[in-house]
Every structure is written in C-alpha cells, then in structure tokens.
Amino acid sequence: MYETHVLMGMRKQRHLAQLIGAHTWHYEKAAGTMAFSPGPTYQVQILGTEAADSETWLWAWANEASQIPAEQLQVAQQLRALGQQLGIEEFTTAELPREKLPAHTLGPVVLGLLGLPAYYRGAMETTNLLVAIADPKYTAPLELKSSDFIATLSDTISNCEVPNHRFSVEKFVEQLGWSPKWQGDVLEVVASDGVRVICQFDSLNRLAKLASRVPA
C-alpha cells in the first residue's frame, strides 16, 4: 500500500509545508485543533504516538491514559475497522515496535486510503504525536505543474524508501488523472501547464532519467 500512495502523499505534504511555512505547533485537545503559529489552525484527528524511550507506536484508540475525545479518534477507528476487514495486523494491534509502523510510512497510506489532505508529526520531548488534518477549510493544492511533478518525484526518491519506482510513478499518474504514454521503459505525461515530462526506468524499475520538454 505504501508504494501505491507514497508519491501522492509527498505531493500533499509538500503543499502542507507551503501553507504552514516555518512554524511552531500547539495541539488543543478540547477544541480538537492544531495551531501552526504564525500560520493557520486546523481541525485534526489523532492517529497515535511514537515513544522515544521504548521505540514503540501506540494507536490513539488504545491510548486510554491520554483521554482523547472520541470525536478525534474517528480516523484511527476507521483504520482499525479497515484492518479487521482486510486482515492488516498493523492497524489492529494496539502497540507495535516503531520500526514496523513508522510515521512517514503510515502517513501516506492513511491519506490515500481515506482521502485526507495531509498529516503532521509533532515532535515532543519524549514522544511524537501523529495527526491527520481533517478540516473542511483546508486549501487543496492546485493542479500539478511539471516542475512540481518533477520535484515530488525527486523529493520522494531522495528521502523515502521506494523499492519499485516504476509502480509508484504509474500509480501517481493514475491518481492525478493524467494519460500516460509508454514506449518501452519510457513514460511520457503532459502536466497541467502543457509541459511534457519524460521518465525513463531501468531494468530494476528504478527511475534512471527525468526530463521535461516545453511544447514548441
């Protein structure tokens, strides 16, 4: 699932970074919001926490000690139900070693499965808080230009473990609603600004070449 959603997840996270800029964050439990000062405040859903000392992940629905309001657990409960339905052990086990469910692997999957706009991992002294932004006021990203498409691919491949680049790029193009044109191991797409982007893959399905061509 991660390879299916990782590129769209990166696109959404790049957009979030543009919206909040340099910031400090504050989670307000009573209101169910996260404020990104000096920028926007959004309604959030609590997914869970990472503990630095024990290197574990704890789902929010299992965190009785924190007394998280039920209305802020809806997404976590949806994932739990989905895990029960599809047999995804990581979604139904209350506490896991963090390496089995790292935040930046879980985040894109959550966004893709539930159609959410972004996630945020807030670092604290001994724990990290992972939330999904679920706010109708959230500004959706504009149509993807060629430069942003290339930057999304480059950022993902540079910073994330993606075993099959070709599969992930195919899924991303499909999710964008673009029409792919294949010639052997070369994929060509036309971005929203009319610029053609060419992706060439090697025999191991890794992205070997990435280029763009402005129409004459």
Q: Please determine, for residue 100, whether its predicted confidence score (pLDDT) is greater than 90.
A: no
Higher pLDDT, 52 or 50: 50
- Looking at residue 216, what is its pLDDT? 65
What are 174-201's pLDDT values in tens digits? 999 999 999 999 999 999 999 999 999 9
Q: Please determine, for residue 32, whether its predicted confidence score (pLDDT) is greater than 70.
A: yes
User: What is the Cα–Cα distance from 185 to 132, expressed in whole angstroms?
Assistant: 36
- Looking at residue 99, what is its pLDDT? 86
Amino acid at 39: G
Average pLDDT of the segment spanning 34-41: 95
What are 124-168's pLDDT values in tens digits? 888 999 999 999 999 888 889 999 999 999 999 999 999 999 999
User: What is the Cα–Cα distance from 23 to 122, expressed in whole angstroms?
Assistant: 11
How does residue 75 score in pLDDT terms, banded at 50, 70 and 90? very high
Q: How far is CA 23 from CA 16, 20, 26, 39, 49, in A?
A: 12, 7, 10, 7, 21
Average pLDDT of the segment spanning 41-55: 92
User: What is the Cα–Cα distance from 100 to 199, expressed in whole angstroms?
Assistant: 31
How does residue 37 score in pLDDT terms, banded at 50, 70 and 90? very high
* DSSP string of 81-95, one letter each residue: HHHHHHT-HHHH-SE
CB 121 within 8 A of CB 133: no
Average pLDDT of the segment spanning 28-54: 94
